[in-house]
Amino acid sequence: MPFGECTITLQDVAYQLGLPIDDAPVSGCLTEFENLMEHGRPAWVWFRELFGELPPQSKIKQMTVCYTWFHERFRVLPTDATDETVRVYARAYILMLLSSQLFADKNANRVHLRWLPYLASLDDLGRYSWGSAALAWLYRCLCRDTHRNVVNLAGPLQLLQSWIFWRFPTIRPTGFDRFGFPLASRWAEFVPRNDAGAQRLVSTRLALDRLRVHDFVWEPYSSVDVAAVIHPEILADEHRRLWTAVTSLIYFAAIEWHQVDRVLPQFGGVQHLPQPALNIVLQG
């Protein structure tokens, strides 16, 4: 920005999405990954065990399933559902959430079977660093979007949108003064206008070019109102110290640097002259 660098950090992920930012990485094999599954079972055999049935062949493409099949098949939980049926529907909901929200790609109408190992044990889902994985994927998507021929944006866009609205009050929509936790839920009912898109793009670019230092909120989470709604667990010392850690973020094959040393004012610090940006390719 005209006044210095700023970025989305693990602190933002914790406050905005309420996701864990430490523990086991979200990783695995994306090619022939079923060979690494429990007992080497074929992916579709495991799929039937987890969801009770297979989708129609017309809804399958390689190792993906059409999102609309999941949505239509598992949209409403039966009133007489057994405990096992509840678990099946829970797996389907989580799978759709991972594929369409946190880790959406430009092929958002399909659900990948890479998530089967994670869904096999619902009790273990909480031991993964979903927050750092989501941030790694957002960094990678933003990097790809700098290419001139790219026209669509992927990744956890609700995180990106909420970060913008919380930190840039001059471009924040009006009428959303009440909020709870996670903070991104503040904009749950926000619907962007579809009219005059080209004009709004020009005006927003102009507004960004004219930004001054007081137009950016360096520490939006320091207010009393935010402290009143935040879940205390994310403020634990073992989590807080990761906010300022210069470390790698992992999401399957995507590995990105968390370079908070370049945005120290976001943590109440004074920015020194930044070192050259780290490049994961050059480090090897």
Which pLDDT score, from 0 to 100, does residue 42 have?
Answer: 78
Q: Which of 61-75, 186-200, 203-217 has the weakest average pLDDT? A: 186-200
Q: Of 125, 128, 181, whose CA–CA distance to 20 is shortest? A: 128
Which pLDDT score, from 0 to 100, does residue 231 have?
Answer: 93
Residue 208 has pLDDT above 90, yes or no: no
The angle subtended at Cα 135 by Cα 242 and Cα 159, nearest 5°, is 110
Residue 203 has pLDDT above 90, yes or no: no
pLDDT digits (tens, 9 = 90+) for 85-114: 999 999 999 999 999 899 988 776 889 888
pLDDT digits (tens, 9 = 90+) for 14-59: 999 999 999 899 987 665 555 555 555 678 888 999 999 999 999 9
Q: Which of 85-89, 143-147, 272-276, 280-284 has the weakest average pLDDT? A: 280-284
Which pLDDT score, from 0 to 100, does residue 73 have?
Answer: 94
Contact present, 278 and 248 (Cβ < 8 Å): no
Arithmetic mean of pLDDT, 256-275: 92
Residue 279 has pLDDT above 80, yes or no: no
Give the whole-angstrom CA distance, residue 70 versus residue 73: 5
Is the pLDDT higher at 36 or at 216? 216
Return the SS3 of 200. helix
- State the chain's mean pLDDT as an integer: 89
Give the whole-angstrom CA distance, residue 218 versus residue 48: 49
The tokens of 127 are what?
Answer: 């031991």
Residue 3 has pLDDT above 60, yes or no: yes
pLDDT digits (tens, 9 = 90+) for 119-132: 988 999 999 999 99
Arithmetic mean of pLDDT, 236-241: 92
**Where are the chain's structural domains?**
10-23+153-267, 30-124
Q: Which of 88-97, 141-150, 156-165, 227-236 has the weakest average pLDDT? A: 141-150
Question: pTM of the full predicted structure?
Answer: 0.91
The angle subtended at Cα 43 by Cα 42 and Cα 46, nearest 5°, is 90
Give the whole-angstrom CA distance, residue 251 versus residue 155: 12
Which pLDDT score, from 0 to 100, does residue 250 have?
Answer: 95
Percent of the chain with pLDDT over 90: 61
pLDDT grade, residue 284 (50/70/90)? very low
Return the SS3 of 66. strand
